Structure 1
Amino acid sequence: MKIELTKAKLSDIQEMQKLVAAEVEAGVILARSSDEVATNIRSYILAKDGSEIIGFCALHIHTPSLAEIRSLIVKDGRRGEGIGQSLVTKATDEAQILGLQKVLSLTYKQSFFENLGFIEIPKESLPEHKIWADCIKCKHFPICNEVSLIKTL
């Protein structure tokens, strides 16, 4: 079956939360409540195989020129099929359409993002509101092993 990329709907939240649960528990992806996902539902892009959600990510806008790829997940057993790459490409295409100039990512998968044209930047260059709004909620804060990367559009 062909993988379809589509915008998330509020009715998708429960399945999205189940898909990401193990990565949240492992501290790889930041926990987001269902209310927070609902508030930001327009930023989520789903990868679906038929009616099953097999991956998703969000394009979160920080400033008129900067957005972030976050909550990128692909179902275990479906990784390595190019689904994550398709999601990130779709999100960066959307960022470009919106007129953004840069897209950042905080990740443990540095080479994945580098293969998509992202380059490493110092974490100190991240917007301050990113650190206080998101990073402070992380179970690894303040000792973070994630890599900051950015792509200029």
Structure 2
Amino acid sequence: MIELVKAKLADIPAMQELVASEVKEGIILDRSEDEVATNIRSYVLAKVNGRLVGYTALHIHSPRLAEIRSLIVDEDYRGRHIGQKLVQFTLEEAKDLGVKEDVLVLTYLPDFFAKIGFKEINKEGIPEHKIWTDCIKCIHFPVCNEVALVYKI
């Protein structure tokens, strides 16, 4: 059974281990342990029998815009709708927090998010502060192949 729980500081080493190969390949941005700790309240974890099998984060940019970040599911657990459950959890959290308009995602898997109701947008519509705080740290910057999508709240 999949359990969705909010992350705790003690979860950070397992989170870093789970995402390491995706970070190395440039699929997910590298976030230091300190950065994860600073944003620990943003993360939701998927656990099976107490084992971390996936996670994501909901980052709030403004009262109108939030972003789903760092979605990862252990390769052995893919295809079990864990990613979808994590995304649905964050969308509900965005609504509960009062995000007024959109939840953004930048991804190499646009079809996954489209099935959940996200719509592709032009990357030029992404707030500039997003580009300069996150994208500039990416190994692919400035040549980005990710697709931007939004979910209307």
TM-score of Structure 1 vs Structure 2, range by shorter chain: over 0.9
Cα distance between partner residues in 1 of 2:97 and 2:65: 10
Paired residue type of 1:139: I
Q: Structure 2: give runs of 5+ residues left out of the alignment.
A: none
Q: Structure 1: give runs of 5+ residues left out of the alignment.
A: none
Q: Name the counterpart of 2:137.
A: 137
Does 2:93 correspond to 1:94? yes
Q: Name the counterpart of 1:61.
A: 60
Fraction of identical pairs, as percent: 61
State the shift of 1:86 in Å: 0.0
TM-score by length of 2: 0.99
Cα distance between partner residues in 2 of 1:133 and 1:151: 22
Q: How does 1:118-133 map to 2 (within 5 A)?
A: 118-133=118-133
Q: Name the counterpart of 2:104.
A: 104
SS in 2 for 1:12: helix
TM-score by length of 1: 0.99
State the shift of 1:65 in Å: 1.1
Q: Name the counterpart of 2:150.
A: 150
Does 2:24 correspond to 1:28? no
After superposition, give the CA deviation of every residue in 1:30-72 in whole Å (9 maximum; x if it has no partner): 0000000000000000000011100000000001111000000
Cα distance between partner residues in 1 of 2:98 and 2:10: 29
How many pairs were matched up? 152
State the shift of 1:138 in Å: 0.1
